[in-house]
Amino acid sequence: MNLLAVERIKLFSTRSPWWCALITVALSVGFAAILAGATPTDEPIALSATQFGGSQFGIAVVMVLAALAVTTEYRFNTIRTTFQAVPHRSPALVAKAVVVALVALVIGEIGAFGALGLAMLMRPDDHLGLHTTQDWLNVAGLGPVFAISAVLAVALGILIRHSAGAIALLLIYYLAVEELVQLIPKVGHHIHEWLPFNVANKFLRGSVVVDGPAPSDSPLSPGWALAYFAGIAIVFLLVALGVAKKRDA
């Protein structure tokens, strides 16, 4: 618990987490407001469409927050003090990942329910609400996806240690690589089915074609999709912990 408290204090001692949290919520709620205001009143909007800002862009900002939580310590060499206080290193890094994941979880839930609430206020006749299990996953599921994405970003931050490099790699992969993989002849589609953020999208949106981006082509059920996504994050974190133990701070 002491390590968790220390990591919480370190995380919120800088401005970047606050700004990232504010931007993420603003993206989630802002896109919902734009959609609700721009869609003609005789065309009802889908619940999943209200989550477009968070599920498409909020994840990227949360991963930037998570990567900075690690790389900033390497940049200013405060990580040396951390490792001197915790010589085995892994407990401190795991505590950091847990704290960042919990913060990401809270940000995701605030953004998701805030977007839904605003859309319901602006479009009272569209009967938006959490009527099915998939509706709940689409909204409440954003927090767990944010949390797992944050763990992935922490792991990458530990491996790369440089803010610019870690953020660039995260954003390029999230925004471009998974889509470009589909262009590989013959095998691209099959590879894409198992890529992490495509699988996470299956958990959030299922297989129903609604407004917004095309649904995931992952063959997994939503529950197994979340487990698979979490498994990938845990594997990356374990690899990062192993590397952190072997090299100089």
Q: What is the pLDDT of residue 209?
A: 52
Most confident of 34-48, 156-170, 203-217: 156-170
3-state secondary structure of 135: helix
Is the pLDDT at 210 greater than 70, yes or no?
no
Tell me the whole-structure pTM to 2 decimals. Answer: 0.92
Is the pLDDT at 133 greater than 70, yes or no?
yes
> Residues near 128 by Cβ (< 8 Å), separated by ≥ 6?
45, 47, 50, 116, 119, 120
Confidence category of residue 13, pLDDT binned at 50, 70, 90: confident
Cα separation, 153 vs 169, in Å, equals 10
Is the pLDDT at 132 greater than 90, yes or no?
no
> What is the pLDDT of the chain when averaged over all its residues?
90
Number of domains present in the structure of the chain: 1
Q: What is the pLDDT of residues 236-248, one digit of tens each?
A: 999 999 999 887 6
Q: What is the pLDDT of residue 47?
A: 86
Mean pLDDT, range 150-154, rounded to an integer = 96
Is the pLDDT at 211 greater than 60, yes or no?
no
- State CA 47 to chain mean position distance: 20
Residue 249 DSSP one-character state:
-
φ, ψ of residue 235 to 5 degrees: the values are: -60, -45
Cα separation, 114 vs 23, in Å, equals 13
Q: Which residue has the higher pLDDT, 25 or 9?
A: 25
Nearest to 120 by CA among 45, 213, 28, 54: 45
Share of the chain above pLDDT 70, in %: 96
Q: What is the pLDDT of residues 196-208, one digit of tens each?
A: 999 999 998 876 5
Q: What is the pLDDT of residue 49?
A: 85
Q: What is the pLDDT of residue 213?
A: 59
Cα separation, 245 vs 89, in Å, equals 7
Nearest to 115 by CA among 47, 177, 212, 205: 47
Q: What is the pLDDT of residue 245?
A: 87
**Encoded amino acid at 41, one letter:** T
Per-residue burial over 92-108, b if 16 or more Cβ lie within 10 Å, else e, is bbbbbbbbbbebbbebb
Segment among 68-77, 87-96, 184-193, 211-220 with least mean pLDDT: 211-220
Is the pLDDT at 128 greater than 70, yes or no?
yes
Q: What is the pLDDT of residue 207?
A: 62
What's the CA angle centered on 228, arms 224 and 236, to 5 degrees? Answer: 165
Q: What is the pLDDT of residues 58-117, one digit of tens each?
A: 999 999 999 999 999 988 888 888 888 888 889 999 999 999 999 999 999 999 999 999
Residue 220 DSSP one-character state:
S
**Domain encompassing residue 138:** 2-246
Q: Which residue has the higher pLDDT, 21 or 44?
A: 21
